[in-house]
Amino acid sequence: MDYFSSQFFLVPPAETFYDDASISIVRKRSVGDGFHEDITVLNHTGEDLDLELRLEAAADFADLFEVKDALAKQGEHYRNVEDSRLVLGYRRGRYVRETWITATAGEAELVDDGIRFRLRIDPHGEWTTCVDSSAPYALTISAIRSSRFCLRKEQPSSRSPVRPDIRRP
């Protein structure tokens, strides 16, 4: 059992218990230095499947004391599409926090409220993408905006990386 990963199997509701699903979605999620999710859409019919898949994304950047004391948020939330990623952010003076969301599929259309995919899946075919969500550590606004910035090179984590297989080698 991996405590840092989960899987979700989704099908649309059927009219009766005996109806087979024409489509299913498999979501495999793991947590390490952020979230990684593999999303697979399966077409179980003998016909082409055209659909729009939307992933909505939001972040509240809740502060423990603001929640505990029911205080109003002091800073500003923002969301932008920049450098092939959706950026969800919070800024209060020089304090900045962001969550970056990316997808590997060429059909990915980044929009302010998430990611949209317009798909055509062949009969009995499947489509897959990877979605990554990462939270850069405490950064200055100029470092976040720099196109040369690389989280793994310039801001090494003090935590050891999560191994994909937790069992001993």
For residue 4, the 8-state DSSP code is: T
User: In the chain, which residues have pLDDT < 50?
Assistant: 138-142, 144-169
Cα-based distances in Å from 99 to 15, 90, 105, 119: 39, 9, 19, 26
Q: What is the pLDDT of residue 165?
A: 44
Q: What is the pLDDT of residue 80?
A: 92
Q: What is the pLDDT of residue 22?
A: 92
pTM comes to 0.73
Q: What is the pLDDT of residue 149?
A: 41
Per CATH, the homologous superfamily of domain 5-151 is Glycoside hydrolase, family 65, N-terminal domain (2.70.98.40)
152 burial via Cβ count (<10 Å: 0-12, 13-18, 19+): exposed
Q: What is the pLDDT of residue 112?
A: 83
Q: Are 136 and 152 in contact (CB under 8 A)?
A: no
Distance CA 104, CA 37 (A): 11
